[in-house]
Structure 1
């Protein structure tokens, strides 16, 4: 990575006034700034390593995340590659970092307050174990959530302790190494601070504490001013202990005139420590999975949920043939999916979920599907869909193939909650168009599929077996990372209506989908040229019909500006306009929280009725957020009489926009945004796909740790309503079918929280790294009002092995290398080392991190693995990482540079010490 790029990333991450205030919204927050800088630098280094391994150049055209993604994916990324998923991953980490200030505001270990060093270190190390285990099982969302919390706690050590006052500038490696002791901690009876009567002093740490290098941190009291005698306070307006002698505080949260140097030193140390932790996670996960965790992949994830009941016997061969053709058509192209997921379902079985990045493996798994069971039963469709929604990444495209209604209709509310949380799009291919009657109030119907598809922004397509190949073109259209929605509407019953939508210069592959029967429409471009529904090939595009789906692909030279489509039908219909473009936005509904470090937290459920709705929106442009500007943001109803509520936008910096909508529409709505692309000076229109609505019910629940296999995990939760009180039913579902105990109902008093507990016990056989997705719902007795919360519980086996692999340098043969680097060409050098795992869990993988030579090693199953490295004398550095089976990372570094200092020690040393010694003698 060039120095210019490093400086650009640092400037991008640390711009703005450094105060811990807004956990969401860019450079206005120290935690966001530190985390952003560290993440972008580590992602950049990972992308550079991947590029070198693939043999191509890594040349970002700028420092924005969008340009970083484009460069990271290399020369194959010639088409539209969106940075939206990378932005979403970054925001998810920032968000969960910020939530530590809300959910654990009074927890000393989470902030390294009140000298809670051992407890704070335990939170970090247990969190890192969970992250590594989650990545191993491809539970990237759970990994990102935990990563945000861990980074917050790690950074707070440097901000809230006296580490930098003691003169240290490098990270305290012992915080992420539980096998190393935390030394020289001040005990509870040791005074640590002098009195600061004016409240802010440059450095109130006592001289003897500084001389003896005693580690302490400020005591924090939100509800009490009590603290041990002579102890430092955290300080600030929210700390009551700051008024108790010794007064003042040592927190470096804010950059003030009296602590500029200390604040900057703490930020630098926290940034370096964050990089150190991210590198440890990256080396354990591997470069590819680290980038996948960060949302950087060539294209979208495609998920198939397929009915294998007996009634599909005539259809399943056609489904297999269609999907094989689809997979082959994308293989090796720019839009080849980054991952395939398959979930079969039957009755009563569903699953397992099969996921792979290999197209040929997915084709083989699809080929194994066979129809079995009765001729025409309702089946476990929603159970299969639940697995897909919890297993696939957010904003995935999920395609369901079935010919029958859902037997497990009781999961419908859970499915809606998961759709809203994940923002994934679900499209149903229903290969039987005959209407079914409900067998009972609890039985499903095809209308349920239509409602779920509309809620997600997808389609409910009814086709015959022969029409299936034409209908599945929609999968080809949506298998891209750069898919955007311009407009989506639904009418039931249909009526004569004209819809207007804006097409901009950045849009390509513009496609219009219309579902319904006996639908007549006319499409008109900005110049007044029209094409009707019965013109299969006209002046504006090509229309293909399959079942109830009309697919209109506009011509490549379609005019930009305001288009219209006029419907004249009394039958129900849906309309969706999509295209491919880098210009888009991501959003979350948020709520403000107060406390010592106030900010905004993402809502897991629905926004509160009777209150303004608040959204945090991130703009994504071709050259980063600075290349686009927002015009209007509004909430718009999709179905029924169209209402639009405009919001007031506040620029939070770095492309983040806080939007407040005072009058929220009744019913289901989506987010609509207009803006200007500064590159082309074109006005653009974009719309979210997932529908949302408001609720008078509110549920609070926080997952504060991992669960252990075979042990009960207790989750406290609280429910409140602003509506009429009374009995509210409580329902909980999880995607692993693990038994849970919780109250089936709570009696609520308006405006007051009712508290309860849910207990879940993962089976002892649950693999470490499993993520359990839990949906908790509260519903009024009438069923009119409800809300939900979606939580992820990581199941992690208790680990006692924290010792990384060790390295013994056996020999270095570099005598033939000439003194002058210019003469190195014909000569080679060799490096030989023995790698062992101290606690015996075994080495799982060995990777060459630096060096352009050839690395070989003996069997990993042996107690001692011999690594042999040979390289040209022109490549003078080697760094090898060894990862054991629980994710501990050891590093071995050696340089033959003549100016590199003393030769490597030929004795057994922990790899972290090898690395530290190398750094101290001049490693670049």
Structure 2
């Protein structure tokens, strides 16, 4: 990279936030609308619409009003099909998925700060549209392979570019009140563009730019956008600028700008109109994706899930027969007891491992497929005892949704222990819990066994994730797997958790609030450990009582599990533990009230704002968290802290309410050891209580600081098969949270990915004496030619110091996206309509039929499915071959004469959408049109029933909605 380019990058990084767009996350003036708000509102609106349509098709009520006042909690509740009135819901996954999308959206202002096409600047309309349509294609491919996490990150980036069109172009000034749908349809022409030699603006009058667009541009309806440049004032003569203090082109005639990024912008008087159009355009784009992928997959993409995944990573070597049998038993029990209920796992993940192999990963929503796969696992071989446990765990961590709980079954040490730092990075990034079921751990080293030293690796990873390392004999394993059943319940929250290493006698308190149910206390430690549990009213139970006044106690290896007897005794509880050996205490329950958090970092500039911070916070500096409380719109949060039990130390944060249940929390110091986020609050949502209910929640994932700063940005999250993406990274060393520009040193670099794609990276980088405290490098990642479109790949880049005592990391997700050449939607052509309808009021006794041929063109990818978009008739489809040898899908729809309309959605194999519309009108008969020379191949059926009046007139409309 040239010195000029490095200088430019440094300037951009120093001023990030300057980028020309709606405010990324938070509007500093309090009145403007940010990308975060636009994206969140659109996601909530479209998700609610899909749930409303599903409820209508199933004959259920849906009373939620769909507008911009929606919250994730209200949408989650309205979309949930409860199996009983006492079921608990958790909106944590929904909140997390929405956050992933708006953080990815905001990241465009970091990764593509000076890219005109990413922001529709400089009249880059075609290239901007290409980014959108290619991105949407990648999203649909990801969903097709059920890679929803990667799909969300790509979708967020796409939405940023789409939304910027309405702020940076003159679409609003031209008087348009609807989105420009050509931006999401690659087969449509972007029309009426102002040519390169056409002047579009005149000078603003002082600070007033309201009328700087030339009258001819407005009268002719010419589309233009402003030019932006951070360094140079050069722009084509007569062209509009973006505007603002960082835009050098706005200082050259014609001076001023036309952006509507916020109320104080050049055309800020039109900010809210632009934001509303951006929101409606995002809803339209989401609607296209919905039609292409189907309702259920769309809801999964949005993260609307009522339950967690069931995820097993299982050692399949010769000594694991009993463990595999127990994993099978407990998974079957969970599946069979929860099937058809709202607590049924949202997906099933299975990763086997041994040596020399691991995987393949199975991820499915089909419980029977999971059952079949786990039933086929057999224990065999073994050879040398270490197995590829961490490689299997890496696959599970990158495939499972964030905040998942993953269970690892093994009795062997990890042959790939070098992956420990990578696994730790993925745990911190995904905030997933990992619980290890370790069987027959020996107290002394013996060949072909898991000893204490080997088990310590698993204990460390469990501790980092907030999971547990349960050490048990094979004969008692069934007693320990009760924790898997506990975690498979809905809305499980962590109330309190602590790991004492080294151990010492201590007392711990936790709040038992009125929203909690099925509270369970887990204690792990040596056999000499004793404890005493005391309720809020002073009633006590000791560890010698297996069935006492407070709880039922069960033992399995190093695990004590206490199931509290009732959920009525709220208040402050205490547990005293007496042990000098390492132990852990974890208190969980079921509650709708929980929280999510993300580490964010402030950037200065025109849009001084916060962005998602990857990796660890910096030692000796400050930290900022974006915290969202889920499960109640009536909470007061007086306290959010960082807690380090090794001190012990608890640092209080300063809270800033962002409206709703969102809080920006600033910590002026960070604990030196491993720490977790704790939240204490009051819930006043119940009208039955005279005073708010106090509650506490704790994040499971351990955090730690680093004096190393590692930053990496990729210009695109998509990779074509056979191509290579280059990721520049920078390593710096810091003092008190600030880059030490005089520091030198060498840092080891490690880059790994979960797909075993070819990758290159330097083994180390060195900060030279005159390097300004920075060292730069690049990582390359190559997708093989055979990689299927929609495949996701997670790249983890790590940097540590020479002593390997300090480490930081970045986790990046990419999607393989093959170039799509089929950009035209399927076409419908009427074959025949027939009816026995009359003007009689007994319409329900008569039927009408509509038959159409559906094709995808000579160069199309072929029809994937035809479904009923509107109507409840019966649809049958048959594949035939036409006279020219082309494949034709014959759609035959039959419904009652009480129907008035039918819409059929037709999707091809790359997600292009066409719509057939049929409409009833008063008539008697329509003469059939018969297709000739066809040969029938296959038939499939499905359907619903329609409703309205009289006889039939069929209108067939082909509306290709790009995928």
Is TM more than 0.5 here?
yes
Structure 1's 277 and 443: CA in aligned 2 closer, same or farther, altered over 3 A? farther
Which residue pairs with 1:858 in the alignment? 878
Which of these residues, 494, 497, 514, is aligned with residue 503 of structure 2?
Answer: 494
Alpha-carbon distance in structure 2 between the residues aligned to 1:817 and 1:751: 85
Shift of the alpha carbon at 1:729? 0.5
Is the 1:165–1:203 Cα contact (8 Å) retained in structure 2? no
SS at match of 1:859: strand
Q: Does 1:882 align with 2:901?
A: no
Which residue pairs with 1:617 in the alignment? 627
Which residue pairs with 1:799 in the alignment? 820
Is the 1:407–1:443 Cα contact (8 Å) retained in structure 2? no
Structure 1's 549 and 371: CA in aligned 2 closer, same or farther, altered over 3 A? same
Structure 1's 268 and 63: CA in aligned 2 closer, same or farther, altered over 3 A? closer
Which residue pairs with 1:703 in the alignment? 714
Shift of the alpha carbon at 1:818? 4.0
Which residue pairs with 1:535 in the alignment? 545
Shift of the alpha carbon at 1:241? 1.9
Which residue pairs with 1:215 in the alignment? 223
Is the 1:239–1:596 Cα contact (8 Å) retained in structure 2? no
Which of these residues, 159, 165, 168, is aligned with residue 157 of structure 1?
Answer: 165
Shift of the alpha carbon at 1:812? 4.7
Which residue pairs with 2:698 in the alignment? 687
Structure 1's 115 and 444: CA in aligned 2 closer, same or farther, altered over 3 A? farther
What are the within-5 Å matches in structure 2 for residues 70-109 of structure 1?
A: 70-76=77-83, 78=85, 79-109=87-117
Is the 1:878–1:893 Cα contact (8 Å) retained in structure 2? yes
Alpha-carbon distance in structure 2 between the residues aligned to 1:641 and 1:30: 40
Which residue pairs with 1:48 in the alignment? 52
Which residue pairs with 2:647 in the alignment? 641
Alpha-carbon distance in structure 2 between the residues aligned to 1:317 and 1:264: 60
Which residue pairs with 2:196 in the alignment? 188
Which of these residues, 628, 631, 641, is aligned with residue 638 of structure 2?
Answer: 631
Shift of the alpha carbon at 1:846? 1.3
Q: Does 1:669 align with 2:693?
A: no
Is the 2:23–2:261 Cα contact (8 Å) retained in structure 1? no
Is 194-203 or 81-90 further displaced after alignment?
194-203
Q: Does 1:713 align with 2:725?
A: yes
SS at match of 2:41: helix
Which residue pairs with 1:34 in the alignment? 38
Which residue pairs with 2:601 in the alignment? 591
Which residue pairs with 1:776 in the alignment? 797
Which residue pairs with 1:836 in the alignment? 855
Shift of the alpha carbon at 1:582? 0.6
Is the 1:438–1:445 Cα contact (8 Å) retained in structure 2? no
Is the 1:102–1:593 Cα contact (8 Å) retained in structure 2? no
Shift of the alpha carbon at 1:857? 1.7
Structure 1's 860 and 243: CA in aligned 2 closer, same or farther, altered over 3 A? farther
Is the 2:656–2:664 Cα contact (8 Å) retained in structure 1? yes
Alpha-carbon distance in structure 1 between the residues aligned to 2:773 and 2:540: 58
Which of these residues, 529, 532, 540, is aligned with residue 522 of structure 1?
Answer: 532
Which of these residues, 809, 812, 822, is aligned with residue 788 of structure 1?
Answer: 809
Q: Deviations over 1:478-537 (max 9, x none)?
A: 113411101100112321110010010000010000001121000000110000011111
Q: Does 1:465 align with 2:465?
A: no
Q: Deviations over 1:145-164 (max 9, x none)?
A: 11111111011111111112
Which of these residues, 558, 568, 586, is aligned with residue 576 of structure 1?
Answer: 586
Shift of the alpha carbon at 1:258? 8.9
SS at match of 2:673: coil
Q: Deviations over 1:329-379 (max 9, x none)?
A: 333333221111000000010000012222222121111111111366110
Which residue pairs with 1:756 in the alignment? 777
Which residue pairs with 2:866 in the alignment? 846
What are the within-5 Å matches in structure 2 for residues 372-411 of structure 1?
A: 372-374=380-382, 377-411=385-419
Structure 1's 264 and 904: CA in aligned 2 closer, same or farther, altered over 3 A? farther
Alpha-carbon distance in structure 2 between the residues aligned to 1:515 and 1:756: 44
Shift of the alpha carbon at 1:910? 3.8
Alpha-carbon distance in structure 1 between the residues aligned to 2:208 and 2:111: 28
SS at match of 1:632: strand
Shift of the alpha carbon at 1:893? 2.8
Is the 1:702–1:715 Cα contact (8 Å) retained in structure 2? yes
Is the 1:136–1:769 Cα contact (8 Å) retained in structure 2? yes
What are the within-5 Å matches in structure 2 for residues 3-152 of structure 1?
A: 20-23=22-25, 29-60=33-64, 63-76=70-83, 78=85, 79-152=87-160
Shift of the alpha carbon at 1:765? 0.9
Which of these residues, 354, 368, 371, is aligned with residue 346 of structure 1?
Answer: 354
Alpha-carbon distance in structure 2 between the residues aligned to 1:277 and 1:546: 52
Alpha-carbon distance in structure 1 between the residues aligned to 2:901 and 2:401: 38
Q: Deviations over 1:416-449 (max 9, x none)?
A: 0000001111000011121354999x99710010
Q: Does 1:416 align with 2:440?
A: no
Q: Deviations over 1:773-830 (max 9, x none)?
A: 00000111111221000001111112111111112234455683649xx865444443
Shift of the alpha carbon at 1:261? 6.6
CA RMSD of aligned residues (A): 2.6
SS at match of 1:76: coil
Is the 1:495–1:568 Cα contact (8 Å) retained in structure 2? yes
Alpha-carbon distance in structure 1 between the residues aligned to 2:64 and 2:186: 38
Which residue pairs with 2:938 in the alignment? none
Structure 1's 315 and 209: CA in aligned 2 closer, same or farther, altered over 3 A? closer
Alpha-carbon distance in structure 1 between the residues aligned to 2:678 and 2:265: 44
Is the 1:522–1:567 Cα contact (8 Å) retained in structure 2? yes
Task: Give the unaligned 5+ runs of structure 2.
Answer: 1-20, 687-691, 736-742, 923-947
SS at match of 2:114: coil
Which residue pairs with 2:15 in the alignment? none
Alpha-carbon distance in structure 2 between the residues aligned to 1:874 and 1:318: 56
Shift of the alpha carbon at 1:77? 6.4
Task: Give the unaligned 5+ runs of structure 1.
Answer: 1-18, 916-924
Structure 1's 906 and 22: CA in aligned 2 closer, same or farther, altered over 3 A? closer
Structure 1's 467 and 817: CA in aligned 2 closer, same or farther, altered over 3 A? farther
Which residue pairs with 2:751 in the alignment? 732
Shift of the alpha carbon at 1:708? 1.4
Structure 1's 479 and 179: CA in aligned 2 closer, same or farther, altered over 3 A? same
Q: Deviations over 1:697-724 (max 9, x none)?
A: 1122122221111222222222211155
Shift of the alpha carbon at 1:233? 1.1
Which residue pairs with 2:261 in the alignment? 253
Alpha-carbon distance in structure 2 between the residues aligned to 1:797 and 1:493: 53
Is the 1:376–1:404 Cα contact (8 Å) retained in structure 2? no
Q: Deviations over 1:513-564 (max 9, x none)?
A: 0001121000000110000011111111111111110001112234100000
Shift of the alpha carbon at 1:221? 2.1
Shift of the alpha carbon at 1:260? 6.9
Which of these residues, 170, 183, 202, is aligned with residue 178 of structure 2?
Answer: 170
SS at match of 1:808: strand
Alpha-carbon distance in structure 1 between the residues aligned to 2:211 and 2:889: 50
Alpha-carbon distance in structure 2 between the residues aligned to 1:735 and 1:66: 33
Alpha-carbon distance in structure 2 between the residues aligned to 1:904 and 1:170: 30
Structure 1's 612 and 287: CA in aligned 2 closer, same or farther, altered over 3 A? same
Is 322-331 or 32-41 further displaced after alignment?
322-331
**Equivalences, count:** 887
Is the 1:158–1:266 Cα contact (8 Å) retained in structure 2? yes
Alpha-carbon distance in structure 2 between the residues aligned to 1:583 and 1:554: 19
